[in-house]
């Protein structure tokens, strides 16, 4: 502490305590870099949106939804179970307990690595000094800085969030009561996962999406089984439909759909909107650092997580799509190692995408749709899960495995999965792509039988 200036000096200051931020801080400390994390979360807990408002609460609730759905399938196997009774207070308590336990683990890691934490709102004064608001000190003087501030929900063009009846995805995961009726506006992974959760918990869920396909970034044949299942679980699904008008009163929201919106509005207790994200860069005063942001307020970085300012790095969601915690973790580690003087590079051939719906979707590498649109020479091999003894025995034969490969070399370009446990299986495909595997490599790899994972080698052998 430099008393005369009321500022603290450090080798590295990390702005943001989410996956990119805390991983970078811990790795930098391991490599001997004096590190401070500044995060604006009022309770001072590390983990960011992923732990407290996104990945962990959603996947915890999705596991509970899976238990409910599985119990209702028992009759198919001759086991009739009573309809599950949902104690929503207990569900929330389990979710909160899970978050608290993981947050405590991060706190212990912080102490173990000797990383100092400061709660406050940060902004750059210049390329060497970080000003702090609502913090124990007013300023940090740094040698290097890492921006890992994440992203926040994009506002809907005409429907403002109010935190009570019109909610973001994070607010929907934190609801204190279980609404009788819920409208979800959107077609991305958050919309799909929220529909899965709240339909299983007993809400009358309706889904509206203005596009022609749910999950437009995924191949249509992978999305189709999920769409069919959602149609069974939700009260109504409106694809290719615009929301024309939303009126909020003391009891909920009245929503008008359709081309003109002139029909009788439908009432909902809550409305959730998923309209994408923008980078958390407002308030950082990046204009004082020469760092540039794009139209979505994301920061441009190179393969070593360097920004346009040589002293300042960035990692995680704030650097743009794909907005995934696993990518953020990898980028945070690279940034820390570069800051510590190592020649690390973020050069992942693929970043797996996992959607924990029922059935699950997962893919990595080149999708068939992208290959067609980009003119990439490719071929496709598909194996439906009806051929799997394991899937048939579980009553989950709606799944599919597909491989996108280069015809001449048979190099694996991409893999897509839909079906139960797809999110756990996709890592094998990501490893294959990273290692430059061919169809022969997959075909000759012995997979345990009976499992759904063996269908990856079956799809490869189908070509041979």
Q: Among 77-81, 123-127, 146-150, 285-289, where is mean pLDDT lowest?
A: 77-81
**Tokens representing residue 161 in the block:** 């969030």
CATH architecture, range 7-153+278-339:
3-Layer(bba) Sandwich (3.50)
- pLDDT level of residue 2 (50, 70, 90 thresholds): very low
Q: How far apart are CA 41 and CA 49, in angstroms?
A: 10
Q: How far apart are CA 187 and CA 189, in angstroms?
A: 7
Domain with CATH 3.30.390.30 in the chain: 353-463
* CA distances in angstroms from 49 to 45, 181, 368, listed in the order given: 11, 26, 32
Q: How far apart are CA 457 and CA 438, in angstroms?
A: 11
pLDDT digits (tens, 9 = 90+) for 400-431: 999 999 999 999 999 999 999 999 999 999 99
142: enclosing H helix or E strand: strand 139-147
Residue bearing tokens 């694809």: 239
Pairing mode, strands 181-185 and 204-209 = parallel
- The CATH number of domain 353-463 is 3.30.390.30: yes
345 within 8 A of 334, measured Cβ to Cβ: yes
- pLDDT level of residue 1 (50, 70, 90 thresholds): very low
**Tokens representing residue 376 in the block:** 């990439």
Half-sphere exposure of 319 (CA within 13 A, CB side): 30
pLDDT digits (tens, 9 = 90+) for 264-275: 899 999 999 999
180 within 8 A of 211, measured Cβ to Cβ: no
pLDDT digits (tens, 9 = 90+) for 249-301: 999 999 998 765 566 899 999 999 999 999 999 999 999 999 999 999 999 99
pLDDT confidence of residue 5: 52
* CA distances in angstroms from 452 to 185, 279, 388, listed in the order given: 33, 38, 6
**Tokens representing residue 61 in the block:** 């609730």
pLDDT confidence of residue 261: 55
Cα-based angle 323, 328, 330 (whole degrees, multiple of 5): 135
Calculated CA dihedral for residues 169, 156, 326, 230, nearest 10 degrees? 60
Give strand ranges (E) for 149-297.
151-153, 166-167, 181-185, 204-209, 236-239, 243-249, 252-257, 266-268, 270-273, 277-279
pLDDT confidence of residue 336: 98
* CA distances in angstroms from 193 to 96, 217, 218, listed in the order given: 19, 16, 15
First to last CA, the chain: 67
168 within 8 A of 272, measured Cβ to Cβ: yes
- Burial label, 257 (beta-carbon count in 10 A; 0-12, 13-18, 19+): buried
User: Can you spell out the DSSP letters for 384-442?
Assistant: EGGG-HHHHHHT-TT-EEEEEE-TTT-BEEEEEEEETTHHHHHHHHHHHHHTT-BHHHH
DSSP code of residue 144 = E
Catalytic residues: 449
Domain with CATH 3.50.50.60 in the chain: 7-153+278-339, 166-274
Q: Which fold has domain 166-274?
A: FAD/NAD(P)-binding domain (3.50.50)
**Tokens representing residue 315 in the block:** 């990692």
pLDDT (mean) for 108-113: 96
pLDDT (mean) for 305-314: 97
pLDDT digits (tens, 9 = 90+) for 130-184: 999 999 999 999 999 999 999 999 988 889 999 999 999 999 999 999 999 999 9
Taking Cα atoms as reference points, which of 363, 228, 211, 218 lies closest to residue 274?
A: 211
361 within 8 A of 422, measured Cβ to Cβ: yes
pLDDT confidence of residue 122: 97
Helix axes 189-201, 220-233, angle to 10 degrees: 30
pLDDT digits (tens, 9 = 90+) for 350-383: 999 999 999 999 999 999 999 999 999 999 999 9
């Amino acid at each position: 502490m430099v008393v005369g200036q009321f500022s603290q000096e450090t080798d590295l200051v990390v702005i943001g305590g989410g996956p990119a931020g805390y991983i970078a801080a811990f790795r930098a400390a391991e490599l001997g870099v004096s590190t401070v994390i500044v995060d604006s979360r009022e309770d001072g807990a590390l983990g960011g949106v992923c732990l407290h408002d996104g990945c962990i609460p959603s996947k915890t609730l999705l596991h509970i939804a899976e238990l409910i759905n599985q119990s209702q399938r028992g009759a198919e196997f001759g086991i009739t179970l009573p309809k599950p009774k949902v104690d929503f207070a207990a569900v929330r308590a389990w979710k909160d307990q899970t978050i608290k336990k993981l947050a405590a683990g991060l706190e212990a890691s912080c102490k173990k690595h000797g990383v100092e934490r400061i709660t406050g709102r940060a902004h750059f004064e210049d390329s060497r000094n970080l000003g702090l608001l609502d913090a124990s000190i007013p300023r940090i003087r740094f040698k290097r800085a890492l921006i890992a501030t994440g992203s926040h929900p994009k506002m809907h063009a005409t429907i403002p969030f109010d935190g009570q009846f019109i909610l973001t995805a994070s607010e929907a995961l934190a609801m204190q009561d279980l609404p009788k009726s819920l409208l979800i506006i959107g077609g991305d992974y958050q919309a799909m996962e929220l529909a899965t959760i709240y339909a299983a918990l007993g809400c009358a869920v309706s889904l509206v999406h203005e596009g022609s396909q749910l999950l437009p970034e995924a191949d249509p044949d992978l999305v189709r089984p999920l769409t069919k299942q959602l149609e069974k679980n939700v009260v109504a699904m409106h694809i290719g439909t615009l929301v024309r008008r939303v009126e909020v009163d003391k009891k909920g929201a009245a929503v008008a759909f359709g081309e003109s919106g002139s029909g009788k509005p439908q009432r909902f207790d809550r409305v959730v909107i998923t309209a994408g994200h923008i980078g958390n860069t407002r308030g950082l005063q990046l204009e004082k650092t020469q760092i540039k942001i794009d139209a979505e307020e994301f920061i441009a970085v190179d393969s070593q997580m360097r920004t346009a300012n040589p002293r300042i790095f960035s990692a995680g969601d704030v650097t743009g799509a794909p907005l995934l915690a696993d990518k953020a973790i990898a980028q945070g580690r690279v940034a820390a190692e570069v800051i510590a003087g190592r020649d690390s590079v973020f050069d992942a051939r693929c970043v797996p995408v996992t959607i924990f719906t029922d059935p699950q979707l997962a893919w990595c590498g080149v999708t068939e749709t992208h290959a067609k649109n980009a003119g990439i020479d490719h071929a496709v091999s598909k194996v439906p899960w009806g051929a799997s003894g394991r899937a048939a025995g579980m009553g989950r034969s709606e799944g599919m495995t597909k491989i996108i490969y280069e015809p001449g070399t048979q190099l694996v370009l991409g893999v897509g999965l839909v079906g139960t446990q797809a999110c756990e299986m996709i890592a094998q495909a990501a490893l294959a792509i990273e290692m430059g595997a061919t169809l022969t490599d997959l075909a000759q790899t012995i997979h345990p039988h009976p499992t759904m994972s063996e269908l990856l080698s079956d799809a490869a052998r189908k070509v041979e």
